[in-house]
Amino acid sequence: MSQVILFKSGNRITVEPTTPSILQLLQPILTFTEKIFLRGRERYQAEREGRSPLRFQDWECFGFDHKDRLSTSFGFYRRIIDKLKAAGYEAGLEDLTPHPHPEIFEPHWDRLADFTLRPGQPEFLSRLIAYPCGRFDCAPGFGKTFMIGLVALLLPKARIDVVTKRVTILTTRIYPELCGMLPSVGIYCSRQKRNLGARVMCFSAGSLRHTDGKADITIGDECHELGADSFAEQMAVYQRARCFGFSGSQDMRLDGKDTRVEGIFGPVIYRVPYQTAERNEIVVPIEVTWRDVNLSRNPCEGLVDTAKRRYGIWRNADRNRLIAADARLYDEKTQVLISVDTLEHAVRLKKLLPEFALVYAAGGLSSKDRETYVQARLLSQDEPSMTDQRLKAITKDFEVGNLKKAIATTVWNVGVDFRALNVVICTDAGASPINATQIRTRVSRINEGKSIGRVHDYLDQFDPGYRRNATSRSKVYAKHGWSQVYPPKPQKDSLLYSLQD
């Protein structure tokens, strides 16, 4: 049996030897195909000519060193070893750059004595301590930010960097919550710069050029988002850190870049599926109610990209009236969130539902757009502008249950904790498995008196593309084990049969 050694140097590994047969074996598993979704004129031209609206690009996640040995990211170590062993090789790992103070990774379990851990959380911590890197795929509501704080308590001498794409989530949730658990926490992003040099530092992905890269542990929050080109390049600053990625949406990217995320953070080493979290009473059951949207004509026929979404979804008056009708099924004591992709759509629903609060990113409505909406009588002249302080206050009111009705853009898609939320109405009509998981699970939190989380979604029968998107979402819901209630079955010739059957 031939022996192959993976030499680890920092967060890179080199395969010794890299024979032609070994290269042929490893090259396919270290290559991924990116799906590039054409936009605008390119998409219009492709569809007009009957071509796919997708373009494909292959990425090789490896290079070669001065001895022509294959070199790649350490996160692929398990993928490579498993492939070599399956092919009959004896494969091992040798660390050429061990940490100079390995004792900092010894856990101090006594420091967690005052905390009550929920089912699955002790196992989560044990896995993180035992592995040199890895990803955690845990249902939304598991308590990822809380786990970050526990890791920092468990390893009191380790320098820890927390990285996320979402600046708002960093400033309003991660940083404040960690400050409540730990004595030394700092933050660096476009909005805040505090306690620089603290043992635990919170960075936005766009601010990583300001870290020295010397963290002992790096934690990527919503790590699937860090597979984007610019963020993945910035993450290379961590040459020695043990990298761990937290998300409830691992391996769901439509563009294929989950392979790159694995290269940064490693394989998935712990999973808590939604069904498991539900059995352990970490989350409530979710029920999805589907409503048919049948129109006499397709308002977005022949359109693509933004124009299709604008006239098929955002400005679709008949569809919007159905959404408003669903929102009014619930009394004033029931907390309801309508989730939208764009402010344009939010404003049109706000016109139908004036009692709902309008929630969007601070500074997200320009004075020009505001005036346009006011003149079109879609927005009241006295609608207050959104500032950081106002967004923070509205979010807090919704979190504690004082505010009962809201229409929100993607600013609330992740990083919020709406325990009192009973109903989410999803209007996006998209096909993303990540959105179909994250947005819907806003209703998943355990709360006194809540036995179920309700989701409303729409079977857009008027357009073949949006109908296919609904099929994709229904498959995601089924994967999570959520119950789904469909409208009465139509006649046999209806294309809805493909979704229900």
Residue 221 is predicted with a pLDDT of: 96
CATH says 284-500 is which class?
A: alpha beta
DSSP code of 433?
H
The reply to whether 284-500 shares the fold of 3-95 is: no
Residue 284 is predicted with a pLDDT of: 96
May I ask the CATH architecture of the domain 3-95?
3-Layer(aba) Sandwich (3.40)
Residue 178 is predicted with a pLDDT of: 97
Q: Where are the extended beta strands (E) located within 320-408?
A: 336-339, 357-359, 405-408
Strand order in the sheet with 242-247: 193-194, 185-188, 200-204, 160-164, 217-221, 242-247, 134-138, 268-272
Are 314 and 375 in contact by the 8 Å Cβ rule? The answer is: no
Residue 496 is predicted with a pLDDT of: 46
**Angstrom distance (rounded) from CA 263 to CA 286:** 33
Residue of 324, 331, 330, 466 whose CA lies nearest to 407: 324
Distances (CA, A) of 211 to 153, 160, 352: 22, 11, 47
**Angstrom distance (rounded) from CA 121 to CA 191:** 32
pTM exceeds cut of 0.75: yes
Instruction: Write down the domain spans for the chain.
Output: 3-95, 102-278, 284-500
Residue 501 is predicted with a pLDDT of: 41
Helices (H), 96-218: 121-130, 144-154, 167-169, 175-179
Find all residues with CB under 8 Å of 376, minimum gap 6, and list them: none
CATH says 102-278 is which class?
A: alpha beta
**Angstrom distance (rounded) from CA 225 to CA 227:** 5
Are 356 and 340 in contact by the 8 Å Cβ rule? The answer is: no
pLDDT averages per 10-residue partition of the chain, 501 residues: 93 97 97 90 78 91 96 98 97 96 97 94 97 96 93 98 92 93 96 95 96 97 94 94 96 95 98 95 96 96 92 98 98 97 97 96 90 93 90 93 96 85 97 93 93 97 97 96 90 48 41
Residue 1 is predicted with a pLDDT of: 65
